[in-house]
Protein backbone atom coordinates (compact mmCIF):
# COMPACT_ATOMS: atom_id res chain seq x y z
CA UNK A 1 0.00 0.00 0.00
CA UNK A 2 1.39 3.37 -1.02
CA UNK A 3 2.11 5.72 1.89
CA UNK A 4 0.38 9.09 2.08
CA UNK A 5 3.14 11.59 1.23
CA UNK A 6 1.00 14.72 1.52
CA UNK A 7 2.03 17.36 4.06
CA UNK A 8 -0.96 16.70 6.31
CA UNK A 9 -0.47 12.97 6.06
CA UNK A 10 3.19 13.21 7.03
CA UNK A 11 2.39 15.41 10.02
CA UNK A 12 -0.40 13.14 11.22
CA UNK A 13 1.78 10.04 10.86
CA UNK A 14 4.79 11.57 12.65
CA UNK A 15 5.72 10.37 16.11
CA UNK A 16 4.28 12.07 19.17
CA UNK A 17 7.56 13.79 20.03
CA UNK A 18 7.99 15.16 16.50
CA UNK A 19 4.39 16.38 16.55
CA UNK A 20 5.04 18.19 19.82
CA UNK A 21 8.12 19.81 18.28
CA UNK A 22 6.05 20.94 15.28
CA UNK A 23 3.35 22.31 17.57
CA UNK A 24 5.92 24.25 19.61
CA UNK A 25 7.45 25.70 16.45
CA UNK A 26 4.02 26.67 15.12
CA UNK A 27 3.26 28.47 18.39
CA UNK A 28 6.64 30.23 18.26
CA UNK A 29 5.99 31.32 14.69
CA UNK A 30 2.55 32.73 15.54
CA UNK A 31 3.99 34.52 18.57
CA UNK A 32 6.82 36.06 16.54
CA UNK A 33 4.41 37.37 13.89
CA UNK A 34 2.20 38.93 16.57
CA UNK A 35 5.26 40.67 18.03
CA UNK A 36 6.43 41.74 14.56
CA UNK A 37 3.16 43.47 13.68
CA UNK A 38 2.71 44.98 17.15
CA UNK A 39 6.29 46.25 17.26
CA UNK A 40 6.07 47.72 13.78
CA UNK A 41 3.02 49.75 14.78
CA UNK A 42 4.60 50.91 18.05
CA UNK A 43 7.91 51.99 16.52
CA UNK A 44 6.19 53.76 13.64
CA UNK A 45 4.07 55.70 16.14
CA UNK A 46 7.12 56.50 18.29
CA UNK A 47 9.01 57.85 15.27
CA UNK A 48 6.06 60.00 14.19
CA UNK A 49 5.63 61.32 17.75
CA UNK A 50 9.31 62.25 17.95
CA UNK A 51 9.20 64.15 14.66
CA UNK A 52 6.00 65.95 15.62
CA UNK A 53 7.34 66.95 19.04
CA UNK A 54 10.64 68.19 17.59
CA UNK A 55 8.69 70.39 15.17
CA UNK A 56 6.79 71.88 18.09
CA UNK A 57 9.86 72.27 20.29
CA UNK A 58 11.97 74.01 17.66
CA UNK A 59 9.10 76.15 16.36
CA UNK A 60 9.95 78.88 18.87
CA UNK A 61 7.06 78.13 21.21
CA UNK A 62 7.45 79.20 24.82
CA UNK A 63 8.57 76.17 26.79
CA UNK A 64 6.06 76.86 29.55
CA UNK A 65 3.26 76.86 26.97
CA UNK A 66 4.54 73.61 25.48
CA UNK A 67 4.69 72.02 28.92
CA UNK A 68 1.15 73.15 29.70
CA UNK A 69 -0.10 71.82 26.38
CA UNK A 70 1.45 68.42 27.02
CA UNK A 71 -0.09 68.25 30.48
CA UNK A 72 -3.51 68.60 28.87
CA UNK A 73 -2.96 65.88 26.24
CA UNK A 74 -2.27 62.52 27.83
CA UNK A 75 -2.03 60.73 24.45
CA UNK A 76 0.97 62.87 23.41
CA UNK A 77 2.96 62.38 26.62
CA UNK A 78 5.32 59.63 25.52
CA UNK A 79 8.76 59.28 24.03
CA UNK A 80 10.57 62.56 23.55
CA UNK A 81 7.62 64.51 24.95
CA UNK A 82 7.79 62.50 28.16
CA UNK A 83 11.51 63.26 28.52
CA UNK A 84 10.85 66.95 28.01
CA UNK A 85 7.99 66.89 30.51
CA UNK A 86 10.04 65.22 33.23
CA UNK A 87 13.00 67.54 32.66
CA UNK A 88 10.94 70.72 32.63
CA UNK A 89 8.91 69.62 35.67
CA UNK A 90 12.11 69.02 37.62
CA UNK A 91 13.48 72.38 36.49
CA UNK A 92 10.28 74.07 37.66
CA UNK A 93 10.40 72.30 41.01
CA UNK A 94 14.03 73.20 41.67
CA UNK A 95 13.49 76.74 40.40
CA UNK A 96 10.58 77.16 42.79
CA UNK A 97 12.81 76.04 45.65
CA UNK A 98 15.21 78.83 44.62
CA UNK A 99 18.17 76.59 43.85
CA UNK A 100 20.78 79.22 43.19
CA UNK A 101 23.52 77.01 41.77
CA UNK A 102 22.73 76.51 38.09
CA UNK A 103 25.02 73.48 37.90
CA UNK A 104 23.09 71.72 40.67
CA UNK A 105 19.82 72.66 39.03
CA UNK A 106 20.82 71.25 35.63
CA UNK A 107 22.26 68.13 37.26
CA UNK A 108 18.85 67.48 38.82
CA UNK A 109 17.14 68.02 35.47
CA UNK A 110 19.52 65.63 33.75
CA UNK A 111 18.92 62.93 36.36
CA UNK A 112 15.18 63.26 35.89
CA UNK A 113 15.45 63.02 32.11
CA UNK A 114 17.82 60.07 32.41
CA UNK A 115 15.18 58.16 34.37
CA UNK A 116 12.53 58.95 31.76
CA UNK A 117 14.92 58.00 28.97
CA UNK A 118 15.56 54.62 30.63
CA UNK A 119 11.83 53.98 30.86
CA UNK A 120 11.28 54.88 27.22
CA UNK A 121 14.20 52.67 26.21
CA UNK A 122 12.71 49.77 28.17
CA UNK A 123 9.37 50.28 26.39
CA UNK A 124 10.98 50.41 22.95
CA UNK A 125 13.03 47.27 23.57
CA UNK A 126 10.15 45.23 25.00
CA UNK A 127 9.75 41.79 23.37
CA UNK A 128 12.87 42.22 21.23
CA UNK A 129 14.65 39.63 23.36
CA UNK A 130 11.79 37.21 22.70
CA UNK A 131 12.21 37.69 18.95
CA UNK A 132 15.93 37.04 19.32
CA UNK A 133 15.24 33.89 21.33
CA UNK A 134 12.78 32.54 18.76
CA UNK A 135 15.18 33.33 15.95
CA UNK A 136 18.12 31.63 17.61
CA UNK A 137 16.61 28.44 19.03
CA UNK A 138 13.89 27.54 16.49
CA UNK A 139 16.30 25.94 13.98
CA UNK A 140 17.81 23.79 16.73
CA UNK A 141 14.38 22.72 17.99
CA UNK A 142 13.43 21.78 14.44
CA UNK A 143 16.72 19.91 14.01
CA UNK A 144 16.03 17.98 17.19
CA UNK A 145 12.68 16.85 15.76
CA UNK A 146 14.36 15.88 12.50
CA UNK A 147 17.11 13.86 14.21
CA UNK A 148 14.55 12.07 16.37
CA UNK A 149 12.36 11.27 13.36
CA UNK A 150 15.26 9.95 11.27
CA UNK A 151 16.56 7.90 14.18
CA UNK A 152 13.11 6.40 14.62
CA UNK A 153 12.94 5.53 10.90
CA UNK A 154 16.30 3.80 10.86
CA UNK A 155 15.51 1.95 14.08
CA UNK A 156 12.35 0.58 12.48
CA UNK A 157 14.34 -0.26 9.34
CA UNK A 158 16.73 -2.39 11.30
CA UNK A 159 13.98 -4.80 12.33
CA UNK A 160 13.20 -5.91 8.76
CA UNK A 161 15.24 -8.21 6.53
CA UNK A 162 14.68 -6.55 3.18
CA UNK A 163 15.02 -2.75 3.45
CA UNK A 164 14.12 -0.33 0.69
CA UNK A 165 14.07 3.42 0.16
CA UNK A 166 10.27 3.42 0.07
CA UNK A 167 10.26 2.17 3.65
CA UNK A 168 12.52 4.97 4.90
CA UNK A 169 11.37 7.89 2.76
CA UNK A 170 8.10 8.69 4.59
CA UNK A 171 9.79 8.74 7.98
CA UNK A 172 12.61 10.98 6.74
CA UNK A 173 10.17 13.28 4.97
CA UNK A 174 8.01 13.77 8.06
CA UNK A 175 11.14 14.40 10.13
CA UNK A 176 12.42 17.06 7.72
CA UNK A 177 9.17 18.98 8.10
CA UNK A 178 10.32 19.88 11.62
CA UNK A 179 13.48 21.48 10.22
CA UNK A 180 11.43 23.42 7.67
CA UNK A 181 9.09 24.68 10.39
CA UNK A 182 12.06 25.69 12.51
CA UNK A 183 13.45 27.80 9.67
CA UNK A 184 10.00 29.24 8.95
CA UNK A 185 9.79 30.42 12.55
CA UNK A 186 13.38 31.63 12.81
CA UNK A 187 13.97 33.60 9.60
CA UNK A 188 11.22 36.26 10.03
CA UNK A 189 12.11 36.62 13.72
CA UNK A 190 15.80 37.26 12.97
CA UNK A 191 15.04 39.74 10.19
CA UNK A 192 12.54 41.61 12.37
CA UNK A 193 14.91 41.65 15.35
CA UNK A 194 17.75 43.17 13.34
CA UNK A 195 15.46 45.73 11.72
CA UNK A 196 13.72 46.76 14.92
CA UNK A 197 16.95 46.89 16.92
CA UNK A 198 18.27 49.41 14.40
CA UNK A 199 15.10 51.49 14.64
CA UNK A 200 15.19 51.40 18.45
CA UNK A 201 18.84 52.51 18.49
CA UNK A 202 18.01 55.42 16.20
CA UNK A 203 15.11 56.52 18.39
CA UNK A 204 17.15 56.22 21.58
CA UNK A 205 19.94 58.22 19.94
CA UNK A 206 17.49 60.98 19.01
CA UNK A 207 16.12 60.96 22.58
CA UNK A 208 19.62 61.28 24.01
CA UNK A 209 20.51 64.11 21.63
CA UNK A 210 17.33 65.95 22.55
CA UNK A 211 18.01 65.55 26.27
CA UNK A 212 21.50 67.02 25.82
CA UNK A 213 20.21 69.95 23.75
CA UNK A 214 17.38 70.62 26.17
CA UNK A 215 19.82 70.58 29.10
CA UNK A 216 21.99 73.12 27.30
CA UNK A 217 19.01 75.38 26.68
CA UNK A 218 17.93 75.22 30.31
CA UNK A 219 21.47 75.85 31.47
CA UNK A 220 21.82 78.97 29.33
CA UNK A 221 18.46 80.31 30.42
CA UNK A 222 19.04 79.53 34.10
CA UNK A 223 22.24 81.57 33.94
CA UNK A 224 20.80 84.40 31.83
CA UNK A 225 17.16 85.31 32.43
CA UNK A 226 15.36 82.37 33.97
CA UNK A 227 12.44 84.38 35.34
CA UNK A 228 11.45 86.00 32.04
CA UNK A 229 12.24 83.16 29.65
CA UNK A 230 10.89 80.24 31.68
CA UNK A 231 8.17 81.08 34.12
CA UNK A 232 8.84 77.94 36.07
CA UNK A 233 6.90 78.95 39.14
CA UNK A 234 3.66 79.08 37.16
CA UNK A 235 3.97 75.53 35.86
CA UNK A 236 5.27 73.92 39.06
How much is the pTM?
0.79
Position 137 scores a pLDDT of: 94
DSSP the chain: -----SHHHHHHHS-HHHHHHHHHHHHHHHHHHHHHHHHHHHHHHHHHHHHHHHHHHTTT--HHHHHHHHHH-GGG-STHHHHHHHHHHHHHHHHHTT---HHHHHHHHHHHHHHHHHHHHHHHTTTHHHHHHHHHHHHHHHHHHHHHHHHHHHHHHTT-SS--HHHHHHHHHHHHHHHHHHHHHHHHHHHHHHHHHHHHHHHHHHHHHHHHHHHHHHHHHHHS-HHHH--HHHH-
Position 163 scores a pLDDT of: 57
Position 75 scores a pLDDT of: 64
Position 174 scores a pLDDT of: 76
Domain range annotation of the chain: 7-235
Position 47 scores a pLDDT of: 92
Q: What is the pLDDT of residues 75-84, one digit of tens each?
A: 667 889 999 9
Counting as low any pLDDT under 50, the low residues of the chain are 1-2, 225-230, 232-236
Amino acid sequence: MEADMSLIGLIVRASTLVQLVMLALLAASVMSWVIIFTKHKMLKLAREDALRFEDQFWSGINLSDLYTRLKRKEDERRGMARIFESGFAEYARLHKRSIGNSEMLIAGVQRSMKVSLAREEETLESNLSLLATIGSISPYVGLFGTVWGIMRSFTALGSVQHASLSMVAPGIAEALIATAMGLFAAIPAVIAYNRYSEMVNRLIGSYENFAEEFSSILHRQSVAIPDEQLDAEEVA
